[in-house]
């Protein structure tokens, strides 16, 4: 081995060791979590009664949730159980979902009866307070962002200061925000199809109110569950723009709820503490006007 090769090899080993040491030192994030993508759908209510889901949140250190469900009854159940949610130390931020059933996923953007339903739900409010947002909704083809009801709902959200949780691709972000440039759009999964980080960055720069929720985001973490270098860089660049979510869209996600939150705590631990706290809690708390988590009557086990 030549001298230069030896040096290069030494440098490689030293860097690798440093990397490992730094990785081992990073403690998982231990502060409060705000789950900004939680569904309590029809099929979850039986197997996972309120006490059960609140127990999962409490054991995970989840102190606030964006609640939405198909149909909206599950959200209403969470928002009506004031004693139970207070005892669990969980603040419920209710969203109106656009789906009465699975068929609505595919046609809501042009279905006037869904616009009517949203207006009725907003007018009724919930025992936990008014609805604070609309969604989650899906657009499997970005062009459907131009559907008449999609346009009206974006404009409604902008006029009423409601957040919008949208599972869409990057092109649909442009289309939705063309209807309502000031709307507070939360991009569910921040591009579940894996929009390149450069494209995510460009959209965050273009739309100062756009937020990214991070469940299911491809390439967010490495094989060991630690934050990837390019996502870490993006988060340091836009510390106020990202949110954590569980996306309990099927019951299996409720089964693994505590694991999902543990996984989030692991990659959050790879960030400076203030940035981690913002993504875990503070960014969502600011969006919905919450302060620090309310005190729980029951101590966390
Ligand atoms: Zn979802």
Asked whether residue 259 carries a pLDDT value surpassing 90, the answer given is yes
At residue 26, the pLDDT reads 82
If you measure from the C-alpha of residue 97 to the centroid of ligand 1, how many angstroms do you get, rounded to a whole number? 10
As a whole-number percent, the residues of the chain with pLDDT over 90 amount to 87
The pLDDT tens digits of the residues spanning 179-236 come to 999 999 999 999 999 999 999 999 999 999 999 999 999 999 999 999 999 999 999 9
pLDDT at 55: 98
Tell me the DSSP string of the chain: --HHHHHHHHHHHHHHHHHHHHHHHPPPP-S-EEEEEEE--HHHHTTS-HHHHHHHHHHTTEEEEEEE-SSTHHHHHHHH-HHHHHHHT-EEEEEE-S-SSGGGGGTGGG-HHHHHHHHHHHHH-BTTBS--EEEEEE-SSGGGGGSHHHHHHHHHHHHHT-EEEEE--HHHHHHHHHH-TT-EEEEGGG-TT---HHHHHHHHHH-TT-EEE-TT-TTSB-TTSPBPHHHHHHHHHSTTSEE------SHHHHHTHHHHHHHHHHHHTTS-HHHHHIIIIIHHHHHTT--SPPPPSSPP-
For the stretch 1-32, pLDDT in tens is: 444 554 455 444 444 444 444 445 589 999 99
Tell me, in angstroms, the distance from the centre of ligand 1 to residue 246's CA: 8
The alpha carbon of 10 and the centre of ligand 1 are apart by a number of angstroms equal to 47
pLDDT, position 295: 63
Question: Taking the model in full, what pTM does it have?
Answer: 0.90
Predicted confidence (pLDDT) at residue 59 exceeds the cutoff of 80: yes
Please give the average per-residue pLDDT across 74-82, as a whole number: 97
Cα 13 to averaged position of ligand 1 atoms, centre (Å): 43
Distance 32 CA to ligand 1 centre (A): 21
> What tens digit of pLDDT does each residue of 273-296 get?
999 999 999 999 999 999 888 765
Ligand 1 centre from 75 Cα, in Å?
14
Q: What is the pLDDT at residue 293?
A: 87
Cα(99) to centroid(ligand 1), Å: 12
């Amino acid at each position: 081995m030549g001298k230069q090769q030896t040096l290069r090899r030494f440098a490689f080993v030293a860097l690798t060791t440093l990397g490992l040491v730094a990785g081992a030192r990073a403690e998982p994030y231990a502060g409060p979590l705000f789950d900004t993508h939680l569904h309590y759908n029809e099929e979850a209510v039986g197997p996972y009664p309120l006490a059960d889901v609140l127990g999962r949140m409490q054991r995970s250190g989840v102190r606030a949730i964006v609640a939405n469900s198909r149909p909206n009854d599950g959200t209403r159940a969470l928002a009506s159980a004031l004693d139970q949610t207070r005892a669990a130390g969980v603040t419920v931020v209710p969203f109106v979902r656009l789906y009465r059933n699975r068929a609505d996923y595919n046609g809501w953007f042009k279905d006037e009866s869904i616009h009517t339903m949203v207006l009725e739900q907003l007018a009724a409010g919930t025992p936990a307070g008014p609805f604070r947002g609309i969604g989650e909704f899906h657009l499997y083809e970005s062009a459907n962002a131009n559907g008449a009801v999609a346009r009206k709902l974006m404009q409604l959200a902008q006029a009423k200061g409601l957040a919008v949780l949208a599972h869409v691709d990057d092109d649909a972000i442009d289309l939705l925000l063309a209807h309502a440039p000031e709307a507070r759009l939360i991009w569910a999964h921040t591009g579940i199809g894996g929009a390149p980080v450069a494209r995510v960055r460009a959209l965050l720069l273009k739309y100062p109110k756009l937020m990214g929720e991070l469940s299911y985001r491809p390439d967010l973490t490495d094989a060991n569950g630690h934050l990837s270098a390019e996502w870490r860089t993006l988060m340091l660049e836009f510390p106020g723009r990202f949110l954590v979510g569980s996306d309990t869209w099927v019951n299996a996600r409720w089964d693994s709820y505590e694991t999902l939150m543990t996984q989030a705590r692991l990659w959050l631990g790879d960030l400076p503490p203030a940035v981690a706290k913002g993504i875990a809690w503070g960014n969502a708390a600011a969006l919905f006007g919450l302060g620090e988590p309310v005190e729980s009557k029951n101590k966390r086990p």
